[in-house]
Amino acid sequence: MVEKVDVVVVGLGPGGEAAATELAKAGLSVIGIESRLIGGECPYYGCIPSKMMVRAANALAEAGRVSLLAGEVDITTDFAPVAKRIRDEATDNWNDQVAVDRFKQAGGRFIRGTAVVTGPKTVSVGDLEIEAGTAIVLNTGTNPAVPPIPGLAGTPFWTNREAIAVPEAPSSLIVLGGGAIGLEMAQAFARFGTNVHVLEALERLMPLEEPESSQLVADVLTSEGLGIHTGTAARNVSYESNTFTVTSDDETFSADHLLVATGRRSDFAGLGLATVGIDTTSRTLDTDANLQIADGVYAIGDITGKGAFTHMSMYQARIVANHILGKQGPAAEYHAVPRVTFTDPEVGSVGLTEQQARDQGIAVAVAISHIPESSRGWLHKAGNEGLIKLVADTDKGILVGATSIGPAGGEVLSMLTLAVHERTPVNRLREMIYAYPTFHRAVEDALGRLP
């Protein structure tokens, strides 16, 4: 059976859902196909529930700081309210009926199933063949990558999907991977009393961020009692008597649970992308300025390799929907991609790191200011760790990258994102008035240190 529609959207992550909904509302016939839950990783296993954990864990940390500022509080941790919030408020017990109804009300037709691209205009799902008159939009996202460590397969390890659904914090946890996902959960669980060890094979945490960010976060986590082991590759995993044992070259770690947070992967072969001329061994898809990977075949989100973030997925969805609807709109640009790791302190960054800028041959100047030395940081006292790092292109007199770490690092990032996005001259940024005493005044201090 062949069904003809204008657009087929395969995978309804945040961007796929947004694009499918907008196209349906615009009057196109749209089929949206989702194998798991409409909304994708973010609302059910990612951003939202993990930030509920972080929010609760940060409340505990703030309570712990009272003794340094305002007397004493007795803290008894209880993970049950977090688990309940994740189940009831974030995920509806991992049920997407609300999203399904919303999409149908927008005029879309929803199919639950795993779709395969069978040609430049065709998709199959189950017994159904669909012909897309106008476009195929792919938003199939990523799955947790499980490294081929001897002994790991077959053990009851967690990925983010299991960790996010636990009813209580484990008593001990080994986290494989020192990136954003691993660190956010490591710190959150540790604040609920879990004994946590983080193993990162590379020489520093958050290897995609500035080295100063890696060091600061490692120092904070270590001071909070987490074991941070960089340059430590897991060589073997075993699971016996409800205990995981992970061995590296020279150490052995044991814990009740093991969280694998070593990256994400896509399956382009399984998605059938060879039928539209794609090299299915590549890790990400090459897109043109309108997000097409082939004529009339669009890609959105993690699979484009432009940043595995919900805001990227939504941004690209807007561009794809505009292009399909023939609306004028700016093409995709990626010089000011913001990202935030929601540890405490938050690590926000935008654009290029110093090393990336140097690798591009840019004439680089950098400047750093430290939050504890700013008025706000000094008076904030407990929990004031952070810094601002600016990466400037001295030929052009603009910022090409920036990092903002601090108690509100992700919020302070907004002005730096605007500066990098708009290519605002550094001199113009220096002329601005910065409210006193805010965390973002540390940006002014760093600007003053640029040559």
Binding of ligand FAD by 35 (CB under 6 A): yes
Closest to ligand FAD by CB, 383 vs 410, is 410
Distance from C-alpha of 439 to C-alpha of 442, rounded to nearest angstrom: 6
| Near ligand FAD in 284-313, by CB under 6 A | 301-303, 308-311, 313
Q: Is 295 exposed, middle or buried (0-12, 13-18, 19+ CB in 10 A)?
A: exposed
CB of 396 to ligand FAD, least distance (A): 29
Question: In the complex with ligand FAD, which residue's Cβ is closer, 32 or 401?
Answer: 32
Q: What number of other Cβ atoms are within 10 A of residue 173's Cβ?
A: 25
The residue within the footprint of ligand FAD, chosen from 18, 47, 173, 260 (CB under 6 A), is: 47
d(CA 142, CA 165): 19
Rounded to the nearest 5°, which phi and psi values hold at 105? -65, -30
Q: Which residues fall within 8 angstroms of residue 68, CB to CB, at 6 or more apart? A: 381, 382
**SS3 assignment for 101-149:** HHHHHCCCEEEECCEEEEECCEEEECCEEEEEEEEEEECCCCEECCCCC
Q: How far apart are CA 9 and CA 109, in angstroms?
A: 10
Find the angle CA(366)-CA(372)-CA(377) to the nearest 5 degrees: 110
Is 45 or 103 the residue whose CB approaches ligand FAD more closely?
Answer: 45
By beta-carbon proximity to ligand FAD, the closer residue of 164 and 391 is 164
Residue nearest to ligand FAD (CB): 141
The distance of closest approach from Cβ of residue 179 to ligand FAD in the complex, given in angstroms and rounded to an integer, is: 10
Name residues contacting ligand FAD, limited to 158-217 (CB under 6 A).
Answer: 160, 181
Nearest residue to 408 via CA among 439, 368, 447:
439
The whole-angstrom separation of Cα 278 and Cα 269 is 9
Interface of this chain with ligand FAD, residues 3 to 32, rule: CB under 6 A = 10-11, 13-15
Residues 340-359 within binding reach of ligand FAD (CB under 6 A): 342
Q: Of residues 108, 141, 338, 383, which one binds ligand FAD by CB under 6 A? A: 141
Residue from the set 60, 63, 114, 248 that interacts with ligand FAD by CB under 6 A: 114
Q: Site residues (CB under 6 A) for ligand FAD?
A: 10-11, 13-15, 33-37, 40-42, 45-47, 50-51, 114-115, 139-142, 160, 181, 271, 301-303, 308-311, 313, 342
